[in-house]
């Protein structure tokens, strides 16, 4: 966001911290005006500009991308969207620019949130690796995504209490931009709160209005639970959120831009939602304090794996999709490993009955691929694959002449998934040029009587 666009009364230092920095066009000597017409469908309230961008890697080396086009946000519709966001999606112009400049050999990125210093006295550096992943983070062989098969609270004494009850499974969408561990239907949060014995704060209906907007806010005297939260994905991998990352003093931004801790309230990084028909569970960025995410757009694969409990020296691994190999990156040089052939899949594994229609873009999360990489270390990945058998056709609905319902707002991780599950018209509407086109609804439209 430009400094000139700040809301009257907003302290610049506070905004710098909350939004993650400011881009000042007036201070640039290489900036040129971008082309807005290419971005009219992006649903982002931004001015587009082109400027030279310099990236500094972990080794202190600078990588320059000449005249990269990016959006400078004019405003944001909600405080939940609290940071500048780097687009790393399937059609990311940022990853494409790095690949075209031969700075990376695959459109892969890996993400680790780390342990936030705003909530912990023992912080741990997070990381974003472009073109590969940090091998030193890997704590076990498995990695998979999207299906929550277990949620439980574990006390210090070892007792485990199930949160999911008889429901069994939940489809979840991975949204690393969310400042939360999980976003869940309200009944699961109610069960958690009852087990933990916590009482909601009286303000904002028991939710935080500070740095981690929308997460649960509780009374400090009720924060007596000392155990951990365990999250199991696809009956294969369990990620544990330790108590210090589960219950913490509410972080807030002071007028000087420094993040302080407010002991008057406690936060639990869980967001609950009530609109069950128009929303779905999400795995947020803070989940990746205890796990790591890797996305390979070239192979249409994404992986989640637990991380080592203690920090280790970074060991970057570059992925070359074209040559199907993995290389260790050390001091700017690479050491190539021979990649073993993929492990064969059994029919039962490839068509697991536990795999159903996934949450991401309505695509089936189907085939399990055991891929051996980096000296035989295996990760189990879920490939997203369309199959005619898994795609259900919706009944035909007559187009209406008028508009009904509430128009789409900005597309952010807190309100939608890749195909929005809410904020759409109830009925089909003609594209008459008065509003932006909308994506197909994530539920079956009801027949009008």
| Residue 304 vs residue 192, higher pLDDT | 192
Residues 434, 258: Cα–Cα separation, whole Å: 44
Task: Show contacts of 380-386: CB within 8 Å, 24+ apart.
Answer: 380/141, 380/142, 380/143, 380/144, 380/236, 381/143, 381/144, 381/301, 381/302, 381/303, 382/144, 382/145, 382/146, 382/234, 382/301, 382/302, 382/355, 383/299, 383/300, 383/301, 384/300, 384/301, 384/358, 384/360
Question: Which has the minimum average pLDDT: 49-53, 93-97, 119-123, 316-320?
Answer: 316-320
Tokens of 154: 């574990």
Q: Which helix (H) or strand (E) holds 14?
A: helix 12-19
- Highest mean pLDDT: which range of 4-18, 298-312, 428-442: 298-312
Residue 252 has pLDDT above 60, yes or no: yes
Phi/psi region, residue 103 (left: phi>0; alpha: psi -120 to 50; beta: rest), is: alpha
In this prediction, residues 237-253 reach a mean pLDDT of 92
Average pLDDT, the chain: 70
Q: Kindly report the backbone phi and psi dihedral angles of residue 14, in degrees, each rounded to the nearest multiple of 5, phi listed first.
A: -65, -45
Distance CA 55, CA 355 (A): 39
- The secondary structure of 322-369 as a DSSP string is TTTEEEEEETTEEEEEPPPPPPPPPHHHHT-TT--B-SSTT-BEEEEE
DSSP for residue 25: G
Label residue 18 by pLDDT band (50, 70, 90): confident
Contacts of 92 (CB under 8 A, 6+ apart): 107, 297
Nearest to 240 by CA among 172, 203, 291, 303: 291
Shortest CA distance to 409 belongs to which of 423, 397, 422? 423
Instruction: Kindly give, in sequence order, each residue whose CB lies less than 8 Å from that of residue 402, ignoring residues fewer than 6 positions away.
Output: 429
**Locus of tokens 């920095």:** 21
Say if residues 374 and 365 touch (Cβ distance below 8 Å): no
Q: Is the pTM of this model over 0.75?
A: no
Q: Where are the beta strands (DSSP E) in 167-290?
A: 170-171, 173-175, 182-185, 216-218, 228-233, 237-241, 248-253, 259-268, 270-273, 282-284
Q: What is the pLDDT of residues 136-195, one digit of tens each?
A: 665 443 234 468 999 999 998 889 999 998 777 888 888 888 889 999 999 999 999 999
- For the chain, give every domain's residue range: 3-85, 102-339, 396-449
Contacts of 197 (CB under 8 A, 6+ apart): 222, 224, 225
Indicate the SS3 state at residue 290.
coil
Q: Residue 171's pLDDT is what? A: 83
d(CA 282, CA 188): 13
Architecture of the domain defined by 102-339: Beta Barrel (2.40)
430 pLDDT above the threshold of 50: yes
Q: Is the dihedral of CA 57, 60, 61, 66 positive or negative?
A: positive
Q: How many CB atoms are closer than 10 A to CB 376?
A: 10
Residue 358: name the closest of 90, 170, 142, 143 by CA. Answer: 170
> Residue by residue, what is the 3-state secondary structure of 160-194?
EEECCCCCCCEECEEECCCCCCEEEEHHHHHHHHH
In 3D, which of 127, 69, 67, 115 has the Cα closest to residue 93? Answer: 69
Q: What angle do CA 423, 428, 431 make, to 5 degrees?
A: 95
- Residue 248 in this model has a pLDDT that exceeds 90: yes
Helices (H) and strands (E) in the chain, counts: 5, 25
Name, of 181-185, 201-205, 308-312, 351-355, the range with top average pLDDT: 181-185
Q: Are 69 and 48 in contact (CB under 8 A)?
A: yes
Quickly tell me which residue has 């869980």 as its tokens: 270
pLDDT of residue 441: 52
Q: Which residues of 101-126 are buried (b: 16+ CB within 10 A; e: fewer)?
A: eebbbbbbbbbbbbbbebbeeeebee
Q: Which residues contact 8 (CB under 8 A, 6 or more apart)?
A: none
């Amino acid at each position: 966001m430009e400094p000139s666009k700040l809301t009257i009364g907003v302290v610049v230092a506070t905004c710098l911290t909350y939004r993650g920095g400011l881009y000042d066009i007036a201070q640039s000597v290489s900036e040129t005006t971008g082309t807005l017409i290419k971005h009219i469908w992006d649903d982002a309230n931004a001015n587009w500009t082109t400027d030279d961008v310099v990236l500094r890697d972990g080794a202190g080396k600078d990588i320059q991308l000449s005249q990269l086009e990016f959006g400078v946000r004019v405003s944001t519709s909600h405080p939940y969207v609290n940071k500048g966001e780097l687009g790393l999606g399937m059609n990311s112009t940022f990853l494409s620019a790095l690949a075209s400049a031969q700075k990376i050999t695959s459109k892969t990125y890996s993400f680790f949130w780390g342990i936030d210093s705003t909530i912990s006295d023992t912080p741990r550096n997070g990381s974003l690796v472009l073109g590969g992943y940090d091998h030193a983070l890997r704590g076990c062989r498995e990695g998979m995504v999207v299906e929550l098969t277990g949620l439980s609270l574990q006390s210090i004494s070892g007792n485990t209490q199930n949160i999911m009850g008889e429901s069994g499974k939940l489809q979840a969408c991975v949204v690393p931009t969310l400042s939360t561990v999980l976003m869940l239907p309200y009944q699961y949060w109610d069960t958690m709160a009852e087990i933990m014995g916590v009482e909601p704060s009286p303000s904002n209906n028991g939710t935080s209005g500070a740095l981690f907007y929308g997460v649960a806010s509780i009374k400090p005297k009720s924060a007596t639970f000392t155990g951990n939260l365990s999250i199991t994905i696809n009956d294969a991998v369990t990620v544990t959120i330790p108590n210090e990352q589960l219950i913490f003093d509410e972080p807030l931004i002071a007028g000087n831009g420094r993040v302080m801790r407010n002991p008057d309230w406690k936060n639990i990084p869980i967001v609950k939602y009530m609109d069950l028909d128009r929303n779905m569970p999400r795995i947020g960025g803070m989940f990746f304090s205890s796990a790591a995410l890797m996305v390979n757009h070239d192979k249409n694969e994404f992986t989640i794996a637990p991380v080592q409990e203690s920090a280790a020296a970074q060991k970057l691994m570059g992925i070359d999709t074209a040559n199907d190999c993995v290389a260790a990156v050390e001091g700017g040089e690479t050491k190539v490993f021979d990649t073993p052939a993929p492990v064969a899949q059994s029919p039962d594994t490839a068509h697991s009955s536990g795999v159903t229609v996934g949450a991401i873009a309505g695509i089936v999360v189907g085939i399990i691929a055991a891929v051996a990489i980096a000296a035989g270390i295996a990760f189990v990945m879920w490939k997203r694959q369309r199959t005619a058998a898994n795609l259900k056709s919706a009944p035909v609905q007559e187009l209406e002449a008028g508009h009904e319902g509430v128009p789409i707002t900005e597309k952010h991780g807190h309100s939608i998934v890749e195909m929005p599950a809410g904020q759409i018209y109830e009925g089909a509407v003609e594209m008459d040029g008065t509003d932006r086109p909308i994506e197909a609804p994530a539920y079956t439209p009801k027949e009008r009587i």
